Structure 1
Amino acid sequence: MPYGDRDQYGARSSSVSATRRPKSTFEVEVPRSHSYPYYQPPRQFPRHLHGPVPETPVIYEEGRRPTAAATFLRWFIDGFKRDPDAQLTITKSTPFLDRTEFDFAGAAAATANSPLKRRLQGRHLQMIAIGGSIGTGLFVGSGKSLSTGGPASVLIAFLLVGVMIYATVHALGEMAVLFPVAGSFSAYSTRFLDPAWGFAMGWNYALQWLVVFPLEIVAASVTVSYWNHSTPLSPAVWVTIFYLFIFAINLFGVRGYGEAEFIFSIVKVVAVVGYIILGIVLNVAGGPDGSYIGGKYWRDPGAFNHGIKGLCSCFVNAAFAFTGTELVGLAAAEATNPRKSLPTAVKQVFWRIALFYIIALTMVGLLVPYTDSHLLQATSDATSTESTASPFVISITNASITGLDSVMNAVIMVSVLSVGNSAIYGSSRTLAALAEQNQAPRFLAYIDRRGRPIFAVLVAFAAGMLCFLAASSHRDEAFTWMIAISGLSAIMTWSSICLAHIRFRRGWLAQGHSLDELTFRSQPGVIGSYIGLVFNMLVLIAQFWIGMFPIDLPENSLKGHIQNWFSVYLAAPIVLIFYVPYKIWFRTSIVRAKDMDLKTGRRDLDLGDLISEEREEREQWPAWKKFYKIFC
């Protein structure tokens, strides 16, 4: 196109007919943001030369151009307007509670064409997979597992749950690479299992993160008290600071989340690796007192505590520590190239399990006896998140190493904020995906020009205001029931992922496809999904038993047993409350293998030749590279 009708800034003159401009960004392969009519300085290569042509730059009266502050303000305000592309993807839909047959095609198309921005790079996904959700579950909650079951029970529980997570994440990765759609696993449950079950799993997952966010904010404020004994401030002050900090991060959209998690995860990775090295040194007589520890604490007081019941209690705490691993699949819808970056991120979950959990907790069990009075006990209240109860901090303090305990406390605070940030991301994206499938109020599907589901984010932050209960006299009761809501949510989510993968494989083969057509194939395969499903069921059974007959019950009566059961098993009735009425109202049925939609949402439909070329290239790799690519 000739540029004779453009001014010195590369913009068209007002005389150019608007009919010559593209009607939508679907006609070009560039972001809509390239068409913003903002002033650009002279001699700068115009951003829009390879995209839609903007209007003439805004010029005020008397030829004055807007100031930088005015331009930024306009850019900031315009960012909250609806994404122009979103208006093209929204179709007429029935009201949320209209009693009609579920629209499979409409739901699949809505999640596949979500206007979320694809700005997460490979490095973001890798760090999210490696250390994205490591928080109080590992650094503090593992101390409760240690005091309840002993070091051997901790390792057995985390190892078995780690195997379950490994199979689950690979199953999720296989589906997410093929279908990088909004909502991820809740959308897969709707598409491959039952719309009613997808509805229940979506709301279950959203509620899990909605209640985790205020809990993590309170935990972050509690960690500050480690340095603030002399002149303690009100918890509400630190709660407000951390609340606004996470709010500011999420104003930058998915790129802000990705960059924040990248930095947070690096801090956690360095801290855990450093602790493992320190633990080895301390164990072999490298501490200030020069005493050899070895396996002393495994002999006295012992490797197990409370027998089989203590082991079952550790399963629940281990599941809580692994919560958030599935976020890498949820982020696939906003990845620039999930076919390349997601398989690498999924494989690195192995290192997260082996390095951060198994090896780190082995060192914790060798350095801290389960009888240590500073550890969280089985009867500790819901808000017992003091970093002084962290076995990581306790082991450093027992070694009389000055300063490192404060460093580890700072790492715990960063980890807690990281989980809070992930909570906003997980809840807002799930709510937006539910709304796009007409399974939540429609306003939650609003996506602005920055790719933010802004109303869903605001709902998450509104729920986060429960963190101000930290200054209330009833905080223990409130937080106990909030934890009860999220306690088993992750187990049910992982079970649903494994079951959806089993059903997806059955539908894939029933419709004439072969496994060679899959861009990424789960390493443990469908057998791994069966193993993961069985392990998830065993954890649910173990938690049911522990809920009814706990190790230590303050009120040993029928009322006490019932109250304790609901405090640890409340998520199960909540899932049924979502599932049963929806199934009755919409009269949904289980999706048959031959009726599954295996086309909508596939970002690349013609990959046969490309996959063949990549496999031929892999066959020529040396043996060491083939082995390396199994885990990375």
Structure 2
Amino acid sequence: MTDLAKDLAKDPTQVSENFTQSLYTDEDGSRSLFTRVKDSFKRQELVETEGIDLDTYSMTDYQRTNYLLAKQPYQKNLSQRHLTMIAIGGTLGTGLFIGIGWSLASGPGNLLIGFLLTGLAIFCVVQCAAELSCQYPVSGSFASHVSRFVDPSWGFTVTTNYCLAWSISFPSELIGCAMTIGYWDSSVNPVVWVIIFWLFIMALNLFGVRGFAETEYVLSIFKILAIIIFLIIGVVLICGGGPNSNGYIGTKYWHDPGSFKAPVFKSLCNTFVSAAFSFGGTELVVLTAAESRKVESISRAAKGTFWRVIVFYVSTVVVIGCLVPYTDERLLGGDTSEDIAASPFVIALANTGKFGERVSNFMNAVILIAVLSVCNSCVYAASRVIQSLGASGQLPSICGYVDRKGRPLFGILVVGLFGFLPFIVASNKVSEVFDWLFALCSISSMFIWFSICYSYLRYRWALKKQNRSADEIAYKSMLGIWGAYLGLLLSALLIVGEIYVSLFPLGESPSAEAFFKYCLSIPIMIAVYIGHKSYTGNWKSFVIPLSGIDLDTGLSHSDVEIMKHELEIQRVKLASKPLYYRIFRFWC
């Protein structure tokens, strides 16, 4: 008889207790893996994080909210390499690989101008958001800054729209993953692939911020390499190289059928829709401020936006405009993210004959990687914003749940529930349902960009109003306050342009359906804003007075003089470097 059998015969209850205890402790008495994993899901309290019990009751509600957002128990695991790659390639998705096909149908000239204007706007926006996030690395980042520097109701409107946009994108991108796999094997029910990818993405985010960051790092490298390969092949084809070449192409298609589709202004405004979709999420890197090891890493990573705009968008748009005429009917399929045949990348390379027949497999793999990356970003971004709303008291406190591994569990759960949307709508109505779901947040990206620039300006105005020096700013925007004015203006123009093409669609008659598919978010945002104002009863002012803006709570540096001294040391050290290195550090 074995020892276990003998023990069972003597005292079955004691054996059961010993077995249970063995799950929680190792032989040396330390906690077992099971125990550590179980305990990691317990809520991390702020007192444990700080090590002291700070009396927040002496603060005003406004100050207490700022304090709580600055002290959320996230783990600071993001390094410079993570942030740099997230900034450059983190949100290169279907908007670039497929969505620009719809805008190219408006003419390559309009497409280039539209992307240049939108790219300049987003560069200004990210610089503004980066300065604020380096100064105040709080939960929710720029979404929380709007509440702090503008108005809580305005901030709530921005935050809920941003959260909704990412949450709705999640199920749509899951469907995109399933449809992309279906290109290779259509015998498997797409629902199976949706479940597999849902489990994969949720598991990644349960590994914490490190799981998200490492995945984005790898996927971004693949996406960047794919674009570089395409640009090289594209240049070769334009110059007349490649199989089945018909000779030098150059700017042939810019002259015939032309660069601009009539009516020019309306066609230009039409490109704003896909440009905003393509650039949407560029601000994601700034959202990581509360989980970055060094806040200055955010400033450096934000500079990568410039290179992303120039290399990965503008260069791609120019090459595609040279390889595909805007009259190609296949481009008009670009309004659906699952149809890779509508991708200008595929169309450009498919025109090369047998070589083009093989490229669809390559582009399909790239699109799958891009969609997976966006799915990962959806869960990360939406869960952090939900957590910030819970921490600030604008949603129930359970929404602010952060466990001992720094995971906003309730936020991840809520976004995960959105991933089940594909299962509850009729299969033949999926596209129509998601069209209207996206209409809920269609114009919100531009509204968020506008709000970021405005909150930045309010911060700078408050410094001046309270007789504070700009020398207190740890890491300043490359473009300064004038960049914020430019970003504000461009964001407003993009909003007006999208409203214009919604009222008067290109090639269609005006209709209520066409308008609300692009602008349904406008009445939704107005309703949310009024509802929050009514609930809080804060109708006395529509913006926080500049003299009343809190400029001290949650600062990334505790001593201004020490911060100035450290920055001066960095400047002296940089000045001693060669010219090429100083230029590199200015832009990177």
Residue of structure 2 in register with 1:603 after alignment: 556
* Cα distance change, pair 625–456 in 1 and its aligned pair in 2 (3 A): same
SS at match of 2:332: coil
Equivalent residue runs for 1:114-263 within 5 Å: 114-147=72-105, 149-228=106-185, 231-263=186-218
1:87 Cα deviation from its structure 2 partner = 6.2
Q: Is the 8 A contact 2:87 2:302 kept in 1?
A: yes
Between the aligned partners of 1:552 and 1:451, the Cα distance in structure 2 is 50
Between the aligned partners of 2:277 and 2:93, the Cα distance in structure 1 is 10
Between the aligned partners of 1:139 and 1:420, the Cα distance in structure 2 is 16
Residue 546 of structure 2 aligns with an amino acid whose one-letter code is A
Residue 207 of structure 1 aligns with an amino acid whose one-letter code is L
Q: Is the 8 A contact 2:124 2:484 kept in 1?
A: yes
Residue of structure 1 in register with 2:66 after alignment: 108
TM-score by length of 2: 0.90
Residue in structure 1 matching 2:341, options 375, 388, 391: 388
Residue in structure 1 matching 2:27, options 50, 65, 82: 65
Equivalent residue runs for 1:24-423 within 5 Å: 60=22, 65=27, 71-85=32-46, 103-147=61-105, 149-228=106-185, 231-291=186-246, 292-306=248-262, 307-339=264-296, 341-377=297-333, 380=335, 383-400=336-353, 401=355, 402-423=357-378
Deviations 1:367-395 (A, max 9, x none): 111122221358x5xx4521111111111
Residue in structure 2 matching 1:444, options 390, 393, 399: 399
Q: Is the 8 A contact 1:136 1:416 kept in 2?
A: yes
Between the aligned partners of 2:425 and 2:228, the Cα distance in structure 1 is 33
Between the aligned partners of 2:459 and 2:213, the Cα distance in structure 1 is 29
Residue 304 of structure 2 aligns with an amino acid whose one-letter code is Q
SS at match of 2:405: coil
Q: Is the 8 A contact 2:253 2:325 kept in 1?
A: yes
SS at match of 1:509: helix
Q: Is the 8 A contact 2:245 2:352 kept in 1?
A: no
Between the aligned partners of 1:287 and 1:133, the Cα distance in structure 2 is 30
1:468 Cα deviation from its structure 2 partner = 3.0
Deviations 1:308-348 (A, max 9, x none): 21110101210110000111111011001112x11210111
SS at match of 2:441: helix
* Cα distance change, pair 283–206 in 1 and its aligned pair in 2 (3 A): same
* Cα distance change, pair 66–133 in 1 and its aligned pair in 2 (3 A): farther
Between the aligned partners of 1:121 and 1:154, the Cα distance in structure 2 is 35
1:156 Cα deviation from its structure 2 partner = 0.4
1:257 Cα deviation from its structure 2 partner = 0.5
Q: Is the 8 A contact 1:374 1:388 kept in 2?
A: yes
Residue of structure 1 in register with 2:475 after alignment: 520
SS at match of 2:514: helix
Residue 122 of structure 1 aligns with an amino acid whose one-letter code is Q
1:251 Cα deviation from its structure 2 partner = 1.0
1:616 Cα deviation from its structure 2 partner = 2.2
1:577 aligns with 2:527: yes
SS at match of 1:264: helix
Between the aligned partners of 1:166 and 1:630, the Cα distance in structure 2 is 15
1:617 aligns with 2:569: no
What is the count of residue pairs matched by the alignment?
555
Residue segments in structure 1 that go unaligned for 5+ positions in a row: 1-57, 95-100
1:233 Cα deviation from its structure 2 partner = 2.4
Residue 585 of structure 1 aligns with an amino acid whose one-letter code is Y
SS at match of 1:286: coil
1:477 Cα deviation from its structure 2 partner = 1.8
Aligned CA RMSD, in angstroms, stands at 2.4
Between the aligned partners of 1:391 and 1:524, the Cα distance in structure 2 is 33
1:225 Cα deviation from its structure 2 partner = 2.5
Residue of structure 1 in register with 2:15 after alignment: none
SS at match of 2:440: helix
* Cα distance change, pair 360–86 in 1 and its aligned pair in 2 (3 A): farther
Task: Name which of structure 1's ranges 396-405 and 194-203 shifts more when overlaid on structure 2.
Answer: 396-405
Between the aligned partners of 1:440 and 1:92, the Cα distance in structure 2 is 23
Q: Is the 8 A contact 2:85 2:221 kept in 1?
A: yes
Equivalent residue runs for 1:527-606 within 5 Å: 527-553=482-508, 556=509, 561-588=511-538, 589=541, 590-606=543-559
Task: Name which of structure 1's ranges 323-332 and 576-585 shifts more when overlaid on structure 2.
Answer: 576-585
Residue 602 of structure 1 aligns with an amino acid whose one-letter code is L
1:242 Cα deviation from its structure 2 partner = 1.3
Residue 86 of structure 2 aligns with an amino acid whose one-letter code is I
Residue 386 of structure 1 aligns with an amino acid whose one-letter code is D
Residue 295 of structure 2 aligns with an amino acid whose one-letter code is P
Q: Is the 8 A contact 2:295 2:556 kept in 1?
A: no
Q: Is the 8 A contact 2:95 2:278 kept in 1?
A: yes
Residue 306 of structure 2 aligns with an amino acid whose one-letter code is F
Between the aligned partners of 2:423 and 2:101, the Cα distance in structure 1 is 26
Deviations 1:194-232 (A, max 9, x none): 11111111111111111011111111222223223xx43
SS at match of 1:375: helix
Between the aligned partners of 1:448 and 1:320, the Cα distance in structure 2 is 33
Task: Name which of structure 1's ranges 599-608 and 581-590 shifts more when overlaid on structure 2.
Answer: 581-590
1:476 aligns with 2:476: no
Between the aligned partners of 1:469 and 1:314, the Cα distance in structure 2 is 33
Q: Is the 8 A contact 2:238 2:250 kept in 1?
A: yes
Between the aligned partners of 1:174 and 1:384, the Cα distance in structure 2 is 34
Q: Is the 8 A contact 1:204 1:574 kept in 2?
A: no
Between the aligned partners of 2:513 and 2:362, the Cα distance in structure 1 is 39
Residue of structure 1 in register with 2:7 after alignment: none
Residue 579 of structure 2 aligns with an amino acid whose one-letter code is A
1:75 Cα deviation from its structure 2 partner = 2.5
Residue of structure 2 in register with 1:457 after alignment: 412
Task: Name which of structure 1's ranges 254-263 and 512-521 shifts more when overlaid on structure 2.
Answer: 512-521
Residue 565 of structure 1 aligns with an amino acid whose one-letter code is F
Q: Is the 8 A contact 2:118 2:272 kept in 1?
A: yes
Residue 164 of structure 1 aligns with an amino acid whose one-letter code is A
Between the aligned partners of 1:64 and 1:505, the Cα distance in structure 2 is 56
Between the aligned partners of 2:45 and 2:61, the Cα distance in structure 1 is 24
Deviations 1:425-450 (A, max 9, x none): 11100010011110112111111111
Residue 358 of structure 2 aligns with an amino acid whose one-letter code is G
1:303 Cα deviation from its structure 2 partner = 1.0
Q: Which of structure 1's runs of 4+ aligned residues deviate more than 4 A?
A: 58-61, 84-94
Residue in structure 1 matching 2:421, options 458, 466, 484: 466
SS at match of 1:114: coil
Q: Is the 8 A contact 1:236 1:471 kept in 2?
A: no
1:618 Cα deviation from its structure 2 partner = 2.7
1:60 Cα deviation from its structure 2 partner = 4.5
Between the aligned partners of 2:22 and 2:180, the Cα distance in structure 1 is 52
TM-score by length of 1: 0.84
Q: Is the 8 A contact 1:172 1:329 kept in 2?
A: yes
Between the aligned partners of 1:573 and 1:514, the Cα distance in structure 2 is 40
Between the aligned partners of 1:591 and 1:500, the Cα distance in structure 2 is 11
Residue of structure 2 in register with 1:35 after alignment: none
Residue 537 of structure 1 aligns with an amino acid whose one-letter code is A
* Cα distance change, pair 60–473 in 1 and its aligned pair in 2 (3 A): closer
Q: Is the 8 A contact 1:235 1:471 kept in 2?
A: no
Task: Name which of structure 1's ranges 576-585 and 387-396 shifts more when overlaid on structure 2.
Answer: 576-585
SS at match of 1:486: coil
SS at match of 1:440: coil
Task: Name which of structure 1's ranges 214-223 and 327-336 shifts more when overlaid on structure 2.
Answer: 214-223
* Cα distance change, pair 151–311 in 1 and its aligned pair in 2 (3 A): same
Deviations 1:233-256 (A, max 9, x none): 222122112111111111101110
Q: Is the 8 A contact 1:236 1:470 kept in 2?
A: no
Structure with the largest fraction of helix: 2
